[in-house]
Amino acid sequence: MTHTSFATTTRGLNRDLPPMRLYEKAKKLGIWNPSDIDFSKDKADWVKFTDEEKDLCLLLLSMFVAGEEAVTLDLLPLIQAVAQEGRIEEEMYLTTFLFEEAKHTDFFRRFMDEVAEAGTDLTRYHSDNYRQLFYEALPSALNALRVDASPANQIAASVTYNMVVEGVLAETGYHAFFTMLERNDLLPGLRKGISLLKQDESRHIAYGVYLLSRLIAAHPQEWDNLQTQMNTLLPSAIGVIGDAFARYQIVPFGLVEEDFVNYAMSQFGKRFERLEKARGASLDEINRVAREAEEI
């Protein structure tokens, strides 16, 4: 496909669009280096952990590092779909996604190599529910955009990636790490990296809410598709949490399964309410709400 014009020499860039505002934040806040994080205290803490405490940490780490690798591998079709529509402001912001997801993969693997000395065979921690989401649903939804970048497929991809993988599972995982480690002042390097990573992911989720809101506002007939996709994937996401707790007779660090299921459902419900408000809204209204949202 050839070009007939360029936005930067015909209309310029709309710096007031929510994706461009997120791009500004990414340039300012997203430039951190996993190699700069000090793991010396983490190494001292790790050797004092019980076998079950180490096992729970490795379980979470194995799910995070594989999940970050999965989105790094599978993200390109979404960027391409947005680019093909000429949405240069959104594409500019999406270029930061790939860098950040790769950086998150780097961070978790570095901790696993230098602190946990985890080895490489960690797939035993990936339950059927986890595999259903990360081995099947995520690549399937995103790669469908290679052959059909319709609004329906864009909705399916963003729901899977931004709303469920990031908005439910990743955020619940951060909550687990901080609940385990913050109150006991353990693994400060891991906590530092996760706090920076969480900042990156909050921008990703904000864009996902914006993208889905824009698509639903323009294609209200796709609401049932969005709702079905979210409700279809939610049981597997909650199942991942249940699978983790089922490994232990006494859960390390005093974690309580109900707390994390409730947290996951709360995150899901919060985003679902935002998306419901997009039905029947104008694009100007979508942009205004996104700019005013806490994430932006």
User: In this model, does residue 295 exceed pLDDT 50?
Assistant: no
- 13: how many CB neighbours lie within 10 A of its CB? 13
The amino acid sitting at 179 is T
Under the banding of pLDDT at 50, 70 and 90, the label for residue 283 is confident
User: In this model, does residue 1 exceed pLDDT 90?
Assistant: no
- For the chain, what's the residue count? 296
Topology at the third CATH level for domain 38-292? Ribonucleotide Reductase, subunit A (1.10.620)
Under the banding of pLDDT at 50, 70 and 90, the label for residue 293 is confident
Under the banding of pLDDT at 50, 70 and 90, the label for residue 294 is low
Place of tokens 């955009």: 145
Output the six-digit token pair for 238.
């909650």
Instruction: Supply the pLDDT for residue 120.
Output: 76
Q: What is the pLDDT of residues 196-216, one digit of tens each?
A: 999 999 999 999 999 999 999
Instruction: Supply the pLDDT for residue 154.
Output: 98
Let me know: does 177 contact 246? Beta carbons within 8 Å: no
pTM: 0.94
Place of tokens 């419900």: 269
Q: What is the pLDDT of residues 73-93, one digit of tens each?
A: 999 999 999 999 999 999 999
Output the six-digit token pair for 142.
């995103």
Q: Where would I find the H helices in the chain?
A: 7-10, 18-29, 40-46, 51-74, 76-84, 88-114, 128-131, 138-143, 151-158, 171-181, 188-218, 223-246, 257-276, 283-292
* Secondary structure (DSSP) of 122-184: -GGG--HHHHIIIIIIHHHHHHGGGT---HHHHHHHHIIIIIIIIIIIIHHHHHHHHHHHTTT
Conformation bin of residue 255: beta by default, left when phi > 0, alpha when psi is -120 to 50? beta
Let me know: does 162 contact 175? Beta carbons within 8 Å: no
User: In this model, does residue 296 exceed pLDDT 80?
Assistant: no
